[in-house]
């Protein structure tokens, strides 16, 4: 086992071509490392390219320039070692919860009994075993995201990318799922890269927080969060860190408002 970073992002840029022939720079020269078992959160103003960054690491988006290394190998296409959880409803609506969670092993060619046993194991982990026969439309938003998370985990990924997975949930459910995610992460110790626009969420969850600039997104600052988990939202250090990150984001928002991209 090498002690090098599990993910190495070097000078990563992304330029989209717009419909009228222009070019839109979404991400500019992002560089950072993620070490194994780390919980890293990425925060930034909306439209700063943080989702694009995650999609590139997942292999869903082409790279304009720079390099993404997963255990020293370049990432060029989706691979099962790098899983992803999406913000919107990503479960297959015609499949039951169980069949959704079993999807990864199914693509991997696992026999039915084996993949269903595995799916049940993960559903139990988040208290969803009783809903294995339900269809996604019968579940609440929070339950759907629980299923989406264990669906990604049941595929045994090395790295789990999460793109604002709790963004569409109400505040109470969001806090509940944050706690559950930490519990699962402490059991399974995956490396997690978590994109959010909630500074509070980032501080509650992360070992490290990357703060991104307004578009084109660059990594502005990296904060290490050393406090013990579970973190106390009422602790002074918690508030101070939130204050610092928010002030950076505020400056960025002001900058982008006066900047060229309006």
Partner 1 sequence: MEFRTVLVRIGAYLLVPVLFLVLWGVIDRQLNNEVILPGVGQVAALFLQPTESLIAMGSLATNVAISLVRVLAGYLLAVCLAIPLGILMGYYGTAHRLLNGFLALFRPIPPLAWVPLVLAWFGVASLASMFGVEEGTAYLYLNNLKLSMVFIIFIGAFYPVLTSAIHGVMGVRSTLLDSARVLGAGEWDIFRKILLPAASPSIVNGMRIGLGVAWMCLVSAEMLPGSISGVGYLITHAYTLARTDIVIAGMISIGIVGAVLDLFFRLIEDRKFVWTRLTR
* 166 lies in the binding site for partner 1 (CB under 8 A): no
Whose Cβ is closer to partner 1: residue 91's or residue 199's?
91
178 is a contact residue toward partner 1 (CB under 8 A): no
Q: How far apart are CA 245 and CA 143, in angstroms?
A: 31
* 258: number of Cβ within 10 Å: 7
Q: Say if residues 7 and 190 touch (Cβ distance below 8 Å).
A: no
Q: Assign residue 69 a region (left: φ > 0; alpha: ψ between -120 and 50; beta: otherwise).
A: beta
Gap between the Cα atoms of 82 and 157, Å rounded? 5
For partner 1, the binding residue among 40, 58, 126, 245 (CB under 8 A) is: 58
Q: Angle CA(232)–CA(235)–CA(236) in degrees, nearest 5?
A: 155
DSSP assigned state of 11: E
Least distance CB 134 / partner 1 (angstroms): 12
Residue 74 CB, shortest distance to partner 1, in Å, is 17
- 135 in Cβ contact with 97 (< 8 Å): yes
CB of 56 vs partner 1, minimal distance in Å? 12
Q: Is 88 exposed, middle or buried (0-12, 13-18, 19+ CB in 10 A)?
A: exposed
**60 interacts with partner 1 by CB under 8 A:** yes
Beta carbons of 66 and 27 less than 8 angstroms apart: no
3-state SS, residue 225: coil
Residue closer to partner 1, measured from CB, 36 or 61:
61
x-or-dash string of contact with partner 1, 87-126, rule CB under 8 A:
-xxx-xxx--------xx-xxx------------------
64 or 79: CB nearest partner 1: 79
Distance between CA atoms of residues 205 and 177, nearest Å: 11
Position among 67, 112, 124, 137 found at the interface with partner 1 (CB under 8 A): 137
Minimum CB distance to partner 1, residue 168 (Å): 11
Q: How far is the CB of 80 from partner 1 (least distance, A)?
A: 4
Binding positions for partner 1, rule: CB under 8 A: 55, 58-60, 78-80, 82-84, 86, 88-90, 92-94, 103-104, 106-108, 135-138, 148, 151-152, 155
């Amino acid at each position: 086992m090498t002690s090098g970073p599990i993910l190495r992002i070097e000078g990563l840029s992304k330029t989209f071509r717009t419909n009228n022939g222009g070019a839109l720079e979404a991400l500019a020269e992002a560089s950072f490392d993620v070490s194994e078992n780390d919980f890293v959160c990425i925060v930034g103003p909306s439209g700063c390219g943080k989702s694009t960054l995650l999609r590139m690491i997942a292999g869903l988006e082409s790279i304009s320039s720079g390099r993404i290394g997963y255990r020293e190998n370049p990432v060029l296409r989706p691979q099962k070692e790098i899983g992803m959880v999406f913000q919107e409803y990503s479960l297959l609506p015609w499949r039951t919860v169980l069949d959704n969670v079993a999807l990864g092993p199914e693509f991997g060619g696992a026999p039915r009994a084996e993949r269903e046993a595995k799916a049940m194991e993960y559903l139990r982990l988040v208290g969803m075993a009783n809903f294995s026969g339900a269809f996604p439309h019968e579940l609440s938003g929070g339950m759907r995201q629980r299923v989406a998370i264990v669906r990604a985990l049941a595929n045994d990924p090395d790295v789990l990318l999460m793109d604002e997975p709790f963004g569409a949930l109400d505040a109470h459910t969001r806090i509940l799922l944050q706690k559950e995610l930490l519990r699962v992460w402490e059991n399974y110790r995956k490396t997690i890269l978590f994109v959010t626009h909630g500074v509070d969420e980032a501080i509650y969850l992360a070992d490290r927080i990357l703060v991104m600039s307004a578009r084109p997104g660059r990594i502005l600052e990296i904060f290490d969060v050393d406090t013990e988990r579970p973190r106390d939202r009422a602790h002074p250090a918690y508030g101070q860190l939130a204050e610092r990150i928010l002030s950076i984001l505020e400056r960025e928002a002001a900058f982008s408002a006066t900047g060229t991209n309006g």
